[in-house]
Amino acid sequence: MNIRRFIWPLSYKGVQVPDSKLSRNNRVEKAKIPEIATIYLQQHIGAPCEPLVEVDDYVSIGEKIGDSKSFISAPIHSSVSGIVLSIEKKNHPSSGLKKEAILIESDNKEKWIDREKLNDISELKKEDLLHIIRESGLVGLGGAAFPTHVKLSPKTKIDTLILNGCECEPYITSDHRLMVEEGDKIVKGAEIFAKILDAENVLIAIEDNKPDAISIIDSIIKDYNLNNFKILKMKTKYPHGFEKTLIFLATGREVPLFIENRAGLPADVGVVVQNVGTAKAAYDAVYEGKPLIDRVVTVTGDVKEQKNLLVRIGTKFSELIDFCGGFNGKVEKVVMGGPMMGICQNDLDISTVKATNCLLVFGDKYKDKNLSPCIRCGNCVKVCPVNLVPTDLAKYARVRKFDLCKANNIDACMGCGSCSFVCPSKIELAQLIAWAKNETRNIK
C-alpha cells in the first residue's frame, strides 16, 4: 500500500489569536422568522439537490423540498410554512455564484409536518439511525457541511469518536453557547454517533477558554454514568479545531496525507470527528423528529448588539443584522464565518445556509493595509500546522506554476489562514494558496 504521511512537527504549530469572543455570555435568542425563506439546493459537500416542489405548492415546516439520489448529498427541508414563490438562481454565500434556490413566502402559521418523537432508541438498529439522520438532512455544522450519514458510514473499524467543541476561530460563540445551554442533548447526540460507529471511546474536546462548557459537559457525563466518555481540556490555540490537527493532539495518531490515489481520512486511523452542533442536531432528528431547519448563528463585530441567534435556514443576512440593531458605524466588510477562514459577502440579501455559523461585521478601522513584497522572514513557515512553505506556494501560484504547487504538497493545506495572519507584508497567502489548490485538482 502506497502511503504518504503528514510530517507533523514535534511540537504543534499554529497561532495565538486575540480573544474576541464578544458574545460568549449572551444566551441564544430566537431570531425573527423570515418573511421569505431562500433555501438553496446546494448546502453541503457533494451533489446538489433536485427540487421536490413546484411554484404555488404549500409546504409545512420540516417538509422535504429537495433531495438527490447521490450517496454524498443531503436533503433540504422547508424552514417555514407557506407558499413556494419561485425556484430561481440566487447568489450563494459560500461562492458568490448563482445557485438554484427555492423561495418560500411564510404564512406565519408555523404549521409543522407530523413528527415522530422517541423517548428510547435502544431498539433502533444502526441502519435505522442512519436513515433518520440522512432523511433529516444533517451535515457537519462546524463549517464544512459534509453529509453526516456519509461520515458515519466508514469502511474501516472505528474505535474513537471525537466530539469537537474547540471553536477555535475568533469571535464565533455558537458552539460554546450550545454546550452551555443544550449540553444534555449534545451528549445524547454523541451517544447516537457512538452507537452507529460501535466506537468504544468518546472524547469531547473543548478549549480551556470555555471553563463553563467544560464543567457542564463533565457533569452531564458523570450524571449519565458514561464511563467511555472523556473530556479533553485543550489548550486555547488556533487552529485546534481542524479535524486532523485535533486527532493528532487528542490521540497521537497521524492521518495519512494520501493512501494510494485518494486523500487520507480520519477513518483510516480509526477515528471519526463530529462537531458538537451536529451532535445536537442528531438528537433533534432522532428524539424529536426534527429535520435540520435551523441552527445557532453568532452575529458579532461592529453591530450594535452582539447576539447568538437560533436562525431559520434561509434567513437573509440583512434581517439578522437588523435584529441586532444594525451596523455600529461605517462598515468595511461582512464575513460569513470567522476572520481566519470566513468568506466575505458582497450582498446582504444573501441568505443563511446550514454552514452559516457566524456573521461577522468589520468596521472601517479594519481596512486592509497596503501589501508589500515578501521579506523572507519565515513567519508563515513557523506557524504552518502541516509544515508547508506558504510563501513558496504563493509565489508559484502567482506565475501559475501549479505543477510545482502540487509537487510541494499544496493539497495538505487546510486553509486555516495562519500564514496570512502572521505575514508582516500583509500578503494574501491563504487566498493565493486556496486558488492554486483548486487549480491543481485536475493535475495527476
Q: Please enumerate, by residue number, every residue annotated as part of a binding site.
A: 374, 377, 380, 384, 413, 416, 419, 423
The β-bridge relationship of strands 160-164 and 36-40 is unpaired
Nearest to 124 by CA among 45, 197, 192, 200: 192
Whole-number Å distance between alpha carbons of 337 and 219? 30
State the helix-helix crossing angle for 211-223 and 183-197, rounded to 10 degrees. Answer: 60
CA dihedral (392, 393, 398, 404) positive or negative: positive
Nearest to 276 by CA among 391, 363, 161: 161
Q: Is the Cβ–Cβ distance between 206 and 214 less than 8 Å?
A: yes
Nearest to 163 by CA among 283, 278, 12, 297: 278
State the helix-helix crossing angle for 174-181 and 211-223, rounded to 10 degrees. Answer: 40
Whole-number Å distance between alpha carbons of 280 and 285? 9
Whole-number Å distance between alpha carbons of 339 and 343? 8
Residues in the chain: 444
What Rg, from alpha-carbon coordinates, does the chain have? 21
Residue indicated by cell numbers 448529498: 73
- Burial category of 301 from C-beta neighbours within 10 Å (exposed 0-12, middle 13-18, buried 19 and up): buried
Whole-number Å distance between alpha carbons of 390 and 355? 27
Whole-number Å distance between alpha carbons of 31 and 317? 11
Nearest to 79 by CA among 105, 115, 99, 44: 105
Please tell me whether residue 66 adopts helix, strand or coil conformation: strand
Whole-number Å distance between alpha carbons of 248 and 254? 6
At residue 10, φ and ψ (nearest 5 deg) are -65, -40
Q: Which helix (H) or strand (E) holds 65?
A: strand 64-67
Whole-number Å distance between alpha carbons of 319 and 234? 36
Backbone angle region of 118, left / alpha / beta, with phi > 0 → left and psi within -120 to 50 → alpha: beta
Q: Please enumerate, by residue number, every residue annotated as part of a binding site for [4Fe-4S] cluster.
A: 374, 377, 380, 384, 413, 416, 419, 423
Q: For 420-432, give one letter per residue: b (16+ CB within 10 A) or e.
A: bbbbebebbbbeb
